[in-house]
Structure 1
Amino acid sequence: MRRSNGDRAAVAGVPPEVAGLLRPDGSVIVPASVAGEVLRALVRDLTARVRADGGEVSPGVRRLLWALHDAAQRHDEAASPSAVTPGAACGSGSESPGSGTVEVTTAEAAERLECSASWVRQLVRRGLLTGRRVGARVWLVDVASLENYRRGRTA
């Protein structure tokens, strides 16, 4: 149940800090400060879902992922314009990357390198690409290290 509260819409039973993220049309505002975290969670879960059912991500979801990526990148640049944090070393998956890191799935990396996802995972294990394991089956690869590898330089 929505009630008008000035310019902000209030939702019965929802805390004010959450209600401030809801728009009257039902859409949700994602603050730039958490866009990177939201993006990583969505990519991880979408990758697992696509692998499980073989489906594809809709164009609307792709646009949302790009918008989240752009918002996170702008936030990171505004917060620390001179610092570029490299991705965490791969293997255990226990470390998370710095907030300035842009990652893609092994499937996307394989597409860019024109090879298989298993070969990309081998490159990560050997230290030729920077990446990390997220969960039991999902790997993420740092885009900067991927581009360096394509140019003949290693992670």
Structure 2
Amino acid sequence: MTAQPDERPAPPPAVLDDGGVYLPASVAFTLWKPLRDLLARHRADGGHIHPEVAAALDALRASAYAHMCDPEQDKRTSRDDPDRTDLVTTGELAGRLGVTGFHVRRLAAAAGITRVAHGRWAPEDADRLAELRRTR
């Protein structure tokens, strides 16, 4: 008889002692996508996003894509986002920019852009890096 891996469910969402909030990675995408769209409309209307709000949205995005890239299929949320199978690899982005993968990471760090998962970039971030590269 083989032992089954310990598969404890993720803790439920909770308010932390310091007033912050814990959210399991499995809900990050469901929350991130409408918030991203809402904030994009707010920006398009000339609104300003406070840095801490932008940082929270980036944290949700990073959590969502890290969860989606989890090799354990039953934990993936990609079925919730069929149009997001277009993540760009570091190699693809390097080819597009005409630089090495190491340089892609340096350019992204300088622009404050982070990967959504190991070796994977959101297409809008790849477009932003390409735009920054063209204007320099």
The structure with more radius of gyration: 1
Which structure features the higher share of strand residues? 1
Taking structure 1 as the reference length, what is the TM-score of the superposition?
0.39
The higher relative CO (CA closer than 8 Å, separation ≥ 6) is in 2
Q: If each structure's helix is expressed as a fraction of its own residues, which one has the higher value? A: 2
The TM-score with structure 2 as length reference comes to 0.44
